[in-house]
Amino acid sequence: MALIGKIRQKSGLVLLLIALAVAGFIIMDMTSAGPGGNKVSLFNNPNQLGKVNETSISRAEVERARTILYESGDFLSSNNTVWNFFVDKAIVDQESKSLGMGICKDELLDAQFSPDPTRVSSVIQARFTDQTTGQLNTELLQQYKEAIANNDIQKNPEIAAYWAEQEKEVLKERLQSKLTNFVAKGFYTPKWMAETVYNDQSTKEDFVFVRLPLTAVKEEEAKVTDDDIMAYIEDNKGSYLREREGRKINFATFTIAPLAADSARARTVVADKLTDFKAAKNDSLFVITNGGTYSEAYETKASFTGGADSVFGRPVGSIVGPYVSNGAYHIAKIVGRAIVPDSVKARHILLKGQTPKFIDSIFTALKSGKASWDSINTRYSTDKVSAAKGGDLGYFGPGMMVKPFNDLCFFKAEQGKLYKVETQFGTHIVQVTGKKIIKNEQGVKLASISEPIEAGEETVQSFRDRANGLIQRNKDIVSLRKEIEALGMTFETSQPVEKQDYLLGQLGGNNGTRSIIKWAFEASPGQISNEIYEIQNQSEKGVKLAIAALKSVLPAGLPKPADVKEEVLEVVRNRKKAEILKGKVAGNKDLAGLATQYQCKIDTARQVTFASNYVPQLGQEPKVLGHVFALEQGATTDAIAGNGGVYVATVISKTPAVPPSDLTQMKIQMNQQARGMVRGRLVSGLRNKADIKDNRE
């Protein structure tokens, strides 16, 4: 009872504590992770993937665009591409709106469907250019235009969605073009600037010089301090100033390669099928059932990589193997022999973007003689180069065409008959019109079963154990690097990466590299990751294992000397040596005496202009050229600290520029150069200045 009485006396405090507890639960709920691990809070909308200044970027909108436009592409790459598109679109929309710019309906239609290819948007050009001819497929575009005008495109929701997303890209590209042209046309080259550039490019000088070697200064005389490195950073701000925080990551990789046991396993797999293969009554069914290949192609001694003698000396029906070819064990049955033509002549009609029903109707009409080859070829073939010659491709040798087309012409097609074949370029209607047989080279047709020689689970685990051992034995980067290098491996240092990057040096871009970068932005400098990362790129076979450590954190702004010491140490040391050597020879303008003292030669540079980026005898030394062109004929420079040494030069002769009668062309050239820089850098410059919030994981 006494306790209840006390509670009643303190009821105000109790109510306050209860209110605070409830508020705590609410705040915790608002800041907890939502579906998919995305932070959900009062301040972080889960449906908002990011923000550019005051423009929100919708998570759903970005995912829809990525799925529709890049469904078959690499996720990380396409995700980054689509994100960058929406960021740039927001920036372009904001700037254009402030200037009152827009794109009308007629402009949009012209950018998508203009019969003049030069007026069509680069977005459309990239997707509707025929890879065979290199020409824009205007006929296919007109079909889309008619489908949109008649509302037929709505009957195919996938195409309608694709075109709607693509239209956003076209709008952004056209609006960006307007914006950059608007800014670019504001550039003007005054007469005095054109005259200056003309004189810099046309005034020529001959001069003699000595290059005093930096080796004349001992290493101990030029000890590099943090102040020296910082001075170098300040002098090269453009190369080191960071807009956003970055990380440098150390990593080493193990390439998982199959071992002897893996090779033996693959051989056993195919060898165990030998008996059944010999007894098989239906070769093609047996091969297909066992995951093999039954090709129409005939192998020649030149093309076969599995040991020609074992195949070409055996009769039809023989089983050969196991043999190794292209990283796999094979067994094969010889199912045919034939003389392979040395070359084949054919003509074709290439159809792209047409429906299968339409293609079948054309093929049937050609076979029955109801349609002429020439009329169909002229009207429908998208290979305009061969179409101009009746579709004739002339004679071609084995392997000169894509494989399905090649195999049809060389190994299956009878001369004069019509065939259809699919390739990455479209559907070809093909007629072989000639064959040349000169060498009488015999080919064999094989039905084969294969087993790749790949690292098994035990092999993969052995590599994982090696990687884990390195991590367990080393608790700091210095010791880890030492052991890695002792093993003959490389402990690489990445270029600075940012939080949303996915590319990591020679490891490329994949789920593994993305995971390493995400870890690095949660780690402390010097920390070694406990995780073993799998690295697999689409362009490479096999998997690599990577171990990673965070080398350094690079804050926004200029880096600290320690962050860049390794990469700039030699440059800064040489710079310091040059200053020391310059001080030692200060006031000495005797080229012959300096050449003797420092055991170097007197060299001559002729017909050099101030605008020269590189002089063969001198190298790339802008400071030297600046001093030389500031002198009169016969004068000698003071010692100049350059990139490759210390220089002293004497001007032999000056040939003044001949005054131009007209600077119009020079001004046009300079305007074009400046405007080209605007078109290449305007949006990236605006992006660097924008307030971009990126909530991607």
Residue 286 lies in a domain: yes
Q: Which of 528-542, 597-611, 613-627, 641-655 has the lowest mean pLDDT?
A: 528-542
- With 0-12 CB in 10 A as exposed, 13-18 as middle and 19+ as buried, what is 564? buried
Could you count the other beta carbons within 10 Å of the beta carbon of residue 636?
Answer: 17
Residue that finishes a domain, picked among 306, 338, 370? 338
| pLDDT 10s digits, 386-416 | 888 999 999 999 889 999 999 999 999 999 9
**Mean per-residue pLDDT for 666-685?**
91
- The residue-averaged pLDDT of 157-179 equals 92
**553 and 467 in one domain?**
yes
Strands 492-493 and 246-255: antiparallel
Instruction: For residue 535, name the pLDDT band (cuts at 50, 70, 90).
Output: very high
Residue-number span of the structural domain to which 536 is assigned: 246-257+456-557
In a domain, 451, yes or no: no
Q: Tell me the Ramachandran region of residue 394: left when phi exceeds 0, alpha when psi lies from -120 to 50, beta otherwise.
A: left
pLDDT for the residue numbered 393? 93
Instruction: Give how many domains the chain has, as a whole number.
Output: 6
Q: Which CATH number is 403's domain given?
A: 3.10.50.40
Q: How many CA atoms lie less than 13 Å away from 399 in the CB half-sphere?
A: 5
- Asked if residue 275 has pLDDT above 60, the reply is yes
Residue type, 599: Q
The DSSP line for 531-553 is: PPEEE--TTSSS-EEEEEEEEEE
Does residue 213 sit in the same domain as residue 290? no
Distances (CA, A) of 609 to 327, 624, 628, 657: 58, 12, 10, 10
Say if residue 122 is in the same domain as residue 149: yes
Residue 272 placed within a domain: yes
Measure the N-to-C terminal CA separation of the chain; round to a whole number of Å. Answer: 56
Mean predicted confidence (pLDDT) in 411-423: 94
**75 located within any domain:** no
Tell whether 374 is covered by a domain. Answer: yes
Q: Is 141 helix (H, G, I), strand (E, B) or coil?
A: helix
Q: Are residues 462 and 544 in the same domain?
A: yes
Q: Are residues 499 and 538 in the same domain?
A: yes
pTM: 0.71
Select from 138, 115, 168, 72 the least CA-distant residue to 353.
138
The answer to whether residue 398 is domain-embedded is: yes
User: What CATH number is given to the structural domain containing 593?
Assistant: 3.10.50
Contact in structure between 322 and 267 (CB atoms under 8 Å): yes
Q: Give domain status of residue 192, yes or no.
A: no
Separation CA 444–CA 337 (nearest Å) = 5
165 and 218 assigned to the same domain: no
- What's the average model confidence in pLDDT over 255-267? 94
Report yes or no on 661 lying in a domain.
no
Let me know whether 598 and 534 are in one domain: no
Give whole-number Cα distances, 104 to 109, 113, 148, 246, 291, in Å: 9, 14, 17, 42, 56
At 315 the pLDDT is: 87
Q: What is the DSSP letter of 58?
A: E
Same domain, 553 and 568: no
Q: Which residues pair with 247 in a beta bridge?
A: 497, 553
306 and 397 in a single domain? The answer is no
Same domain, 463 and 429: no
Same domain (yes/no): 634, 621: yes
Q: What is the mean pLDDT of residues 301-314?
A: 74
- In a shared domain, residues 331 and 291: yes
CA–CA distances in Å: residue 288 to residues 11, 45, 321: 82, 53, 18
| pLDDT computed for residue 312 by the predictor | 81
